[in-house]
Amino acid sequence: MAELFRMSAAEIAEAVRDGEVSAIEVTDAHLARIEQVEPQVRAFLHVAADQAREAARAVDQRRAAGGELGPLAGVPLALKDVFTTRDMPTTCGSRILGDWLPPYDATITRRLREAGVVILGKTNMDEFAMGSSTENSAFGPSHNPWDLGRVPGGSSGGSSAAVAAYEAPLGIGTDTGGSISQPGSVCGVVGVKPTYGGNSRYGVVAFASSLDTPGPLARTVLDAALLHEVMSGHDPCDATSIDAPVPPVVAAARQADVSGMTIGVVPEFTGEGFQPGVLARFGEAVELLESLGAKLTEVSCPHFSYALPAYYLIAPSECSSNLARFDAMRYGIRVGDDGTRSAEEVMALTRAEGFGAEVKRRIMLGTYALSSGYYDAYYGKAQQVRTLITRDFEAAFDRVDVLISPTTPTTAFPLGERVDDPMAMYLADLCTIPSDLAGNAALSVPCGLSPEDGLPVGLQIMVPVLADDRMYRVGAAVEAALDARRGYPLLNDAKGLA
Amino acid sequence: MPSSAVGRGGGVRAGRALVGYDEAVSRYDPLIGLETHVELGTRTKLFCGCPAKFGGEPNTHVCPVCLGLPGSLPVPSRAAIEYTIRIGLALNCSIAEWCRFARKNYFYPDMPKNFQISQYDEPLCTDGWLEVTLDEAEAAPYGHSGGPRTFRVGIERVHLEEDTGKSQHMGGATGRIHGADYSLVDYNRAGIPLVEIVTRPVEDTGPLAPAVAHAYVTELRDLLRSLGVSDVRMEEGSLRCDVNTSLSPRGSGRWGTRTETKNVNSLRSVERAVHSEIERQAAVLDAGERVIQETRHFHEDSGITTSGRSKEEAQDYRYFPEPDLVPLAPPRDWVDQIRASLPELPAARRARLQEAWGITAAEMTNIRNAGALDLVEQTIAAGASAADARKWWLNVLARRANDTGVELASLPITPADVAAVAALVGSGALNDRLARQVIEGVLAGEGTPDQVVAARDLAVVSDDTALNAAVDEAIAARPDVADKIRGGKVTAAHALVGAVMKATRGQADASRVHELILARLTQS
């Protein structure tokens, strides 16, 4: 057997089920790996070794007692620190929550526990999921295992870095404007933004409610699918949760076949501003898909170019309201309560000190966009653009089964390069935002390394609402073909930790 | 300026003459509008499973959702939506085929999320009306004569929202936030479903504006109670009222600047608040000043309003559609079912009963104002005549309730008891005075009327032999009176009746005694 921490989730689950290895051995191996590489990667904000071992032992005991083990029992996982956990702090990468210990588990946290998944800890993220690099975390950035001087993407960069660094075979992130796909892409792992409403948001600290979508990160498409099925499904505690069967994503990942599919290339996402190496790898992916039996065609989505500005009105508007509750009254830090100041003053001082610059920027943007007299021109207009983007998708999916584009315009950028240039930072999410606005699903699968910098490039596969299985079919086919051509998994080329 | 004005809490400032009500309405047309908040009596809160109960130890009816903890999400209660639709239908509103909740954003410590989930430009119910009738007695104090007046009060909207928590300001003298040492917040109330009912401006009330406001809230309260959607107790805050008032120069047709008076916590206060605001605004306008658009607070003790926060620096609530909830689209067949299940509404019921009982509108108003309608109806159903039922509840029991400061319906006596007492009087077993003693006994917890009669040995002496002995004694004691009667002055017999009643400790039938006296003294 390979080093335990290099095994895939599917392999671990099978080995635990077959008794070849115990869940506690798997967990210990990953905790040791975390100890070894964490000083360089800094993927975790909180490692919960005791709770992880306890969960692993419970799986081993269940097996010993002859109990049934689920498809991911005993598999370690890195959970983004935006999901509430009763037994671990939840910070959202912000100072403002202090050492808040939530009194309840998120629905997804609970489902993971019930499935015997071993939660190793909570991963780093841009503060309240606002950012594309983890550099907005109040606790410092995470580092890309391909090149420690570069960002791991964001906001779910802690989870993507942990998966890419073999600290965990599985990670969970949340996607609001590309926060799973983009870090997945720049870390050379699989990142999935499922259909909005397919995964419960209950217990996910909200950034932008109409966009936030939890989803899996993994080193293989099959692993992502296995996690997708464990975490998904209707939740009566989330009014926006879809009451429909989970699409058969595991079967689709095993099918890994694109023959007979019609695949549309979005020309809006192959032009100016894209790194040549990214476009080169994307072009090869197009040829590969054709060689695998798919029919390729170009499908223009004219309104996609307005997605970024619309997003930067809608998401900040919702966040300005969602983040209002952090007011020092009930939880988190409290600043300036010296007995002389009013509640309003304490709220203001706490928020001034507790929130970072990007969060403040977006709260102000959103407050402005919702203000009376400006609402129609900003928030209202952005919602109209959102509708047009949804129609672009609908028209496109009348003609093709899936749409593809590069996941990001560039590969991982150096730490610090964009921190003072918000517009450049926002452009990292250019290709991922349309699916967030329209609520349909998208998956990013590695499609090689950019020749200029030797860093991973992601292929984004976009599918209609509730057709999540389709993107797994395509993603798994691309992954299998590229792995076969290369002869080894792409992550073997990651030299940052060598 | 009269010195008495100084004490009026800033209601009238130096240099402004007081204006009496009659004078005010002779020069200005009042325009009123009412916003009423009703706490629904659903089992659970609007967006979580916590009990929607009044009171309880602070912060015991709470969960992550109604505390607005990070990550928590609202899920709307079907019952609360159904209750809102019931209210809308009863108020003749259209029920939206599609509408949304909206967030109202503002910071306040008793708001767990610092936004309130409410409805904004897409309310669940719109465009209805409620008819209210002022009888002569209600209109008379405002100089109106010539029969009852009916007003159709337009309902602009009925929407559903969540209630906030409750702040308690500790220390300081006033109990207000200013000057308090610290504040405590109880979130038990946070998330209780609240329905807001907004009227259109009520025009053409003229001087009757205060009475119309009172009649509207009274009618609304009765309506809500009959729908079973709320316990509508103003004193517990489950029915809260804000009153908008403005004045325009009489006949000008222009609408003046309005004020919104809050803290109006009883039916009588609604009337007083409008009355006081009309006088105050008239004084402001007479002085050549302008009315400031603002929130004002009504003071129960002084009956006047004082300035709250100015609406000119109004909060921008930054309403937007609540993204945590999907749009609300009540299926038409569900709305039809709710419509079919509406009970008879109070106005129709009162009209029906008034006719059945053969009473006047004013008599019906008295029954209603005493909170005795159900009780009288049930007493009649238990066999009493309408006159008897009204007499016992309104004349005897209402006074008792008033004296002891409880609601009529809370007295420990049932309509069946009252009907039983009326029956005993009707059969001659009790006279009026004894019947009152039986009522006392029932109220004192001595049992049913029959048990009280037996235990206290209360029965009319109906044996003429015994009564004749008492009559003879009375005649013998008052020969002067007896002579007058013999001389044809029949009315003098009352003095002897009284004496006989006294001798029999009230247990005689006074009319029989009267007959016996006349029989004895006028026999030829």
Whether residues B270 and B249 fall in one domain = yes
Give the 3-state secondary structure of residue B310: strand
Report chain A's mean pLDDT, rounded to a whole number.
Answer: 97
* Between residues B434 and A324, the one the model is more confident about: A324
Residue that the structure tokens 């841009």 belong to: A126
Whether residues B425 and B507 fall in one domain = no
Give the 3-state secondary structure of residue A218: strand
Q: Is A171 left (phi over 0), alpha (psi -120 to 50) or beta?
A: beta
Nearest CA among A45, A16, A256, A284 for reference residue A161: A45
Query: From the CA of A184, how many Å to the nearest CA of chain B?
Result: 24
Choose one of B291, B321, B351: the last residue of a domain.
Answer: B321
Whether residues B305 and B445 fall in one domain = no
Dig out the tokens for A246 from the structure.
């989970």
Main-chain dihedrals φ then ψ at residue A157, nearest 5 degrees: -65, -30
Compare CB distances from A324 to B114, B183, B323 and report the shortest one's residue.
B114
Strand ranges inside A283-440, DSSP E: 295-298, 402-406
Query: From the CA of B60, how many Å to the nearest CA of chain A?
Result: 15
What percent of chain B stands above pLDDT 90?
Answer: 60
pLDDT for position B15 = 55
Residue B320's H or E segment, with its range, is: strand B320-321
What's the number of CA atoms in the CB half-sphere (13 Å) around residue A219?
25
What percent of chain A stands above pLDDT 70?
Answer: 99
Distances A493 to A184, A357, A378, A385 between C-alpha atoms, Å: 16, 36, 45, 41
pLDDT digits (tens, 9 = 90+) for B352-409: 999 999 998 888 988 988 889 999 999 999 999 999 999 999 988 998 888 888 889 8
pLDDT for position B430 = 85
Chain B residues inside the 8 Å CB shell of A92:
70
Choose one of B430, B456, B482: the last residue of a domain.
Answer: B456
Q: Report if residue B109 sits inside a domain.
A: yes
Q: Is A379 on the interface with B (CB under 8 A)?
A: yes
In the predicted model, what is the mean pLDDT of residues A152-161?
Answer: 98
pLDDT at B429 over 70: yes
Q: Which of A119-133, A313-327, B330-344, B493-507 has the lowest mean pLDDT?
A: B493-507
Q: Report if residue B333 sits inside a domain.
A: no
Chain A residues inside the 8 Å CB shell of B115:
321, 324
Dig out the tokens for A438 from the structure.
């329209």
Distances B468 to B302, B478, B482, B485, B519 between C-alpha atoms, Å: 61, 15, 15, 17, 10
* Between residues B496 and B201, the one the model is more confident about: B201
In the predicted model, what is the mean pLDDT of residues B1-17?
Answer: 43
Whether residues B235 and B206 fall in one domain = yes
CA-CA distance, A423 to A309, in Å (whole number)? Answer: 10
Dig out the tokens for B147 from the structure.
């029969």
pLDDT at A498 over 80: no
Whether residues B429 and B478 fall in one domain = no
Rg of chain A, C-alpha, whole Å: 21
pLDDT for position B148 = 83
pLDDT at A440 over 90: yes
Dig out the tokens for B107 from the structure.
């910071």
pLDDT at B13 over 60: no
**pLDDT-based confidence at B16, cuts 50/70/90?**
confident
Chain A residues inside the 8 Å CB shell of B320:
317-318, 321, 370, 375, 379
Q: Is A122 on the interface with B (CB under 8 A)?
A: no
CATH (domain of B497): 1.10.10
pLDDT for position A251 = 98
The burial class, CB within 10 Å (0-12 / 13-18 / 19+), for B141 is: middle
Q: Is B100 left (phi over 0), alpha (psi -120 to 50) or beta?
A: beta
**pLDDT-based confidence at B176, cuts 50/70/90?**
low
Chain A residues inside the 8 Å CB shell of B64:
102-104
pLDDT digits (tens, 9 = 90+) for A255-273: 999 999 999 999 999 988 8
Distances B166 to B58, B184, B185, B234, B265 between C-alpha atoms, Å: 10, 8, 6, 16, 16
What percent of chain A stands above pLDDT 90?
Answer: 96
Dig out the tokens for B180 from the structure.
């308090």
Whether residues B447 and B485 fall in one domain = no
Distances A199 to A204, A434, B144, B185 between C-alpha atoms, Å: 10, 19, 65, 34
Dig out the tokens for A224 from the structure.
């992502």
> Where do runs of H (alpha helix) occur along B228-345?
267-286, 332-340
pLDDT for position B7 = 33
**pLDDT-based confidence at B9, cuts 50/70/90?**
very low
Q: Amino acid identity of A395?
A: A
Q: Which of A284-293, A477-486, B272-281, B462-471 has the lowest mean pLDDT?
A: B462-471
Whether residues B419 and B500 fall in one domain = no
pLDDT digits (tens, 9 = 90+) for B142-159: 887 777 899 999 999 999
Q: Which residues of B touch A (CB under 8 A)?
A: 64, 67-76, 103, 105, 107, 109, 112-115, 183, 185, 316, 318-320, 323-326
Contact B115 A92 (CB under 8 A): no
Dig out the tokens for B96 from the structure.
């939206």
Whether residues B381 and B492 fall in one domain = no
Whether residues B390 and B294 fall in one domain = no
pLDDT at B14 over 70: no
Nearest CA among B16, B27, B22, B25 for reference residue B287: B16
**Known catalytic residues of A?**
80, 155, 179
**pLDDT-based confidence at B8, cuts 50/70/90?**
very low
Nearest CA among B445, B396, B403 for reference residue B422: B396
3-state secondary structure B29-41: EEEEEEEEEEECC
Number of domains making up chain B = 3
Compare CB distances from A321 to B76, B115, B185 and report the shortest one's residue.
B115
Give the 3-state secondary structure of residue B420: helix
CA-CA distance, A180 to B170, in Å (whole number)? Answer: 48
pLDDT for position B314 = 67
Structural contact between residues B249 and B28, judged by C-beta atoms closer than 8 angstroms: yes
Structural contact between residues A191 and A444, judged by C-beta atoms closer than 8 angstroms: yes
**pLDDT-based confidence at B347, cuts 50/70/90?**
very high
Q: Is A374 on the interface with B (CB under 8 A)?
A: no
Compare CB distances from B107 to A206, A347, A379 and report the shortest one's residue.
A347
User: Which of A101-106's residues contact partners 24+ apart within 8 Å by CB, and which partners?
Assistant: A102/A203, A102/B64, A102/B69, A102/B70, A102/B71, A103/B64, A103/B69, A104/A203, A104/B64, A104/B69, A104/B71, A104/B72, A105/A203, A106/A200, A106/A202, A106/A203, A106/A204, A106/B71
Question: What structural domains does chain A harbor?
Answer: 4-262+407-493 (3.90.1300.10)
The burial class, CB within 10 Å (0-12 / 13-18 / 19+), for B92 is: middle
Choose one of B405, B440, B456: the last residue of a domain.
Answer: B456
Distances B410 to A209, B371, B435 between C-alpha atoms, Å: 49, 11, 20
Q: Report if residue B345 sits inside a domain.
A: no
Main-chain dihedrals φ then ψ at residue A178, nearest 5 degrees: 120, 15
Chain B residues inside the 8 Å CB shell of A236:
75
- Write b or e for each residue in B362-401: b if 16 or more Cβ atoms lie within 10 A of its Cβ, otherwise e: ebbbbbbebbbbebbbbbbebebebebbbbbbbebbbeeb
Q: Report if residue B391 sits inside a domain.
A: yes
Q: Is B44 left (phi over 0), alpha (psi -120 to 50) or beta?
A: beta
pLDDT at A423 over 80: yes
pLDDT at B5 over 70: no
Q: Report if residue B344 sits inside a domain.
A: no
**pLDDT-based confidence at B173, cuts 50/70/90?**
low
pLDDT digits (tens, 9 = 90+) for B440-465: 999 999 999 999 988 888 877 767 77
Q: Report if residue B213 sits inside a domain.
A: yes
> Where do runs of H (alpha helix) occur along A120-207?
157-164, 181-187
pLDDT digits (tens, 9 = 90+) for B221-257: 999 999 999 999 888 888 999 999 999 999 887 889 9
pLDDT at B472 over 90: no
Whether residues B305 and B425 fall in one domain = no
Whether residues B196 and B112 fall in one domain = yes
The burial class, CB within 10 Å (0-12 / 13-18 / 19+), for B190 is: buried
pLDDT for position A1 = 55
Query: From the CA of B198, how many Å to the nearest CA of chain A?
Result: 22
pLDDT digits (tens, 9 = 90+) for B87-123: 999 999 999 999 999 999 999 989 999 999 999 999 9
CA-CA distance, A178 to A192, in Å (whole number)? Answer: 10
Query: From the CA of A446, how many Å to the nearest CA of chain B?
Result: 32
* Between residues A169 and B170, the one the model is more confident about: A169
- Test the B interface: residue of A108, A127, A213, A330 with most B CBs within 10 Å: A330
**pLDDT-based confidence at B1, cuts 50/70/90?**
very low
Max intra-chain CA distance, chain B: 101
pLDDT for position A2 = 66
pLDDT for position B2 = 32
Range of the domain at B449: 370-456
Dig out the tokens for B465 from the structure.
């032999």
* Direct distance between the N- and C-terminal alpha carbons of chain B, in angstroms, rounded to an integer: 79
Torsion of CA A26, A30, A32, A35, to 10 degrees: -160
CA-CA distance, A28 to B341, in Å (whole number)? Answer: 64
Kindly give, in sequence order, each residue whose CB lies less than 8 Å from that of residue B97, ignoring residues fewer than 6 positions away.
B329, B330, B332
> Where do runs of H (alpha helix) occur along B140-266?
209-227
Q: Report if residue B328 sits inside a domain.
A: no
Contact A320 B318 (CB under 8 A): yes
Main-chain dihedrals φ then ψ at residue A425, nearest 5 degrees: -60, -45
pLDDT at A217 over 70: yes
Kindly give, in sequence order, each residue whose CB lies less than 8 Å from that of residue A186, ignoring residues fewer than 6 positions away.
A144, A150, A151, A152, A153, A160, A408, A411, A412, A455, A456, A458
Whether residues B314 and B403 fall in one domain = no
Q: Report how many helices (DSSP H) and strands (DSSP E) chain A contains, helices first.
A: 16, 11
pLDDT at B311 over 70: no
pLDDT for position B174 = 65
Dig out the tokens for A198 from the structure.
């397919």
* Between residues B371 and A226, the one the model is more confident about: A226
Nearest CA among B19, B509, B60 for reference residue B247: B19
Task: Determine the length of chain A.
Answer: 498
Q: Report if residue B487 sits inside a domain.
A: yes
CA-CA distance, B470 to B477, in Å (whole number)? Answer: 11
pLDDT for position B252 = 86
Q: Amino acid identity of B141?
A: P
Dig out the tokens for B63 from the structure.
């969960």
**pLDDT-based confidence at B6, cuts 50/70/90?**
very low
Compare CB distances from B76 to A205, A239, A343 and report the shortest one's residue.
A239
Chain B residues inside the 8 Å CB shell of A208:
323
Between CA B318 and CA B326, with CA B320 as vertex, the angle to 5 degrees is 155
